[in-house]
Chains A and B, each alone.
Chain A
Amino acid sequence: QKEVEQNSGPLSVPEGAIASLNCTYSDRGSQSFFWYRQYSGKSPELIMLIYSNGDKEDGRFTAQLNKASQYVSLLIRDSQPSDSATYLCAVMRISGAGSYQLTFGKGTKLSVIP
């Protein structure tokens, strides 16, 4: 089983709609959960961090975490063409060496259609 799984997409939504991105993870001991945005040819940029069950909102972005279901999601309200990018889910867990390690999913490509 892959450690962090995402639907690769592409996910297409019309401008102004809500984009919903999903992620599941395998390690129940995972500590915290991140969403990164990566534009083509650019580096990943942190947009959300969540470590408690429930919702966390920041502007148009809402991260949702359900540790019992090992599921984390990102909602983008009022989607804009500038939101078109690959969204990477990442999970902080303890590696075999006993240190913290950030493990990424393969990313979901989002296209917002004007």
Chain B
Amino acid sequence: DTAVSQTPKYLVTQMGNDKSIKCEQNLGHDTMYWYKQDSKKFLKIMFSYNNKELIINETVPNRFSPKSPDKAHLNLHINSLELGDSAVYFCASSHPPTGNYGYTFGSGTRLTVV
């Protein structure tokens, strides 16, 4: 019954590996997001998709590639992981992508690169 679900919850991996984080929402929302929260708890947007189309792509390394197979799913693939990628990654969704609606967040994926 979870509204926005992410898997895995924890991910520990070595530098240079490639990993994916999956996100699914069952709220019927049109727009999904990926946010990164660093060690200082600063939550920063990475990507936004509306109905499977990319609408926000903040300055993140090309090693990060989002994929949205349908409007209920937004996955994040990361190539050649680096130590600095260690953070908590949150998926979120909203409907519609404008104005006066808050976002619903998933429970987060804590990525640790060693």
A98 to B105, CA, bound (A): 23
- Closest residue of B by beta carbon distance from A31: B99
Give the Cβ gap from B1 to chain A, nearest Cβ, in Å: 16
**Interface, chain B (partner A; CB < 8 A):** 33, 40-45, 48, 50, 55-57, 90, 97-108
Chain A facing B: main interface SS = strand
Could you show 27 A-B contacts with beta carbons less than 8 Å apart? A31-B99, A31-B100, A32-B99, A32-B100, A34-B102, A42-B107, A42-B108, A43-B90, A44-B105, A45-B105, A46-B102, A46-B103, A46-B104, A51-B100, A92-B99, A97-B56, A99-B48, A99-B56, A100-B97, A100-B98, A101-B45, A101-B56, A102-B45, A104-B43, A104-B44, A106-B42, A107-B41
Q: Does A86 lie within 8 Å of B56, measured CB to CB?
A: no
Taking CB atoms and an 8 Å cut-off, the chain A residues in 35-90 that contact chain B are 36, 38, 42-46, 49, 51, 86, 88
Contact A49 B42, CB 8 Å, known A43-B107, A97-B55, A99-B55: no
| Interface band, chain A | 20 to 34
Give the Cβ gap from A85 to chain B, nearest Cβ, in Å: 11
Q: Which of B40, B55, B103, B108 contacts A102 (CB 8 A)?
A: B103
Give the Cβ gap from A33 to chain B, nearest Cβ, in Å: 10
A56 to B90, CA, bound (A): 28
Give the Cβ gap from A66 to chain B, nearest Cβ, in Å: 18
Q: Which 10 A-B pairs have the closest CB atoms?
A: A46-B102, A43-B105, A104-B43, A99-B55, A32-B100, A100-B98, A106-B42, A31-B99, A44-B105, A43-B107
